[in-house]
Chain A
Amino acid sequence: QKEVEQNSGPLSVPEGAIASLNCTYSDRVSQSFFWYRQYSGKSPELIMSIYSNGDKEDGRFTAQLNKASQYVSLLIRDSQPSDSATYLCAVPGDNFNKFYFGSGTKLNVKP
């Protein structure tokens, strides 16, 4: 079973700042990584996936992957109060037959 670790937070940032969310994983052979956003009482929704070392940008979101360090992060630029949610990191199992989720980091963006 793959271990996926996240700081539970809460992480508090002021509106307009950069929020940095981190995730570490145990399996060196993991090839791709996923970030989900979950609002309180709602189901997770996919924000981004990344499978190559380096950065991947999508609007205000940037995913960063360092396979050597087994570390993946999500940066949210110009944070908005609507970004306040729990962010889940997920790593697929072999052949993508299942996903392993971290416990999530709760982000609070203060107006």
Chain B
Amino acid sequence: DGGITQSPKYLFRKEGQNVTLSCEQNLNHDAMYWYRQDPGQGLRLIYYSQIVNDFQKGDIAEGYSVSREKKESFPLTVTSAQKNPTAFYLCASGAPDRIKGYTFGSGTRLTVV
């Protein structure tokens, strides 16, 4: 079955640590996205990629980094420069138009300990 797989489901980070969140899709989508969701808030765009080997900053890119070496994969690294990383991270992919939206992965909940 086609879909988007995010791992791990839960992740704990110590202060000063870098951690990487995985996102893999087998939907053959060119575009992939990372969003962050804080409690009671909407989704805020971190990074997005329209094609392999290219990506753009979203609205809250500071403290995060990404790579897009393969069409299927778009990992997100939360660096130690991100001072408040505790949140729910959502990866999405799609070929959106005025009818179709994104397909989301199941999310990774990151907690700083």
Contacts and interface: CB of A to CB of B under 8 A. Distances in A.
B16 interface: no
B42 interface: yes
Given A42-B107, A43-B104, A96 B33 contact: no
Contacts of B105: 43
Secondary structure of the B contact surface, majority rule: loop
A36 B48 CA distance: 20
Interface string B18-58: 00000000000001010100001111110010100000001
Interface of A: 1, 4, 6, 8, 31-32, 34, 36, 42-46, 49, 51, 88, 90, 92, 96-99, 101-104
Interface of B: 31, 33, 35, 40-45, 48, 50, 58-59, 90, 96-102, 104-107
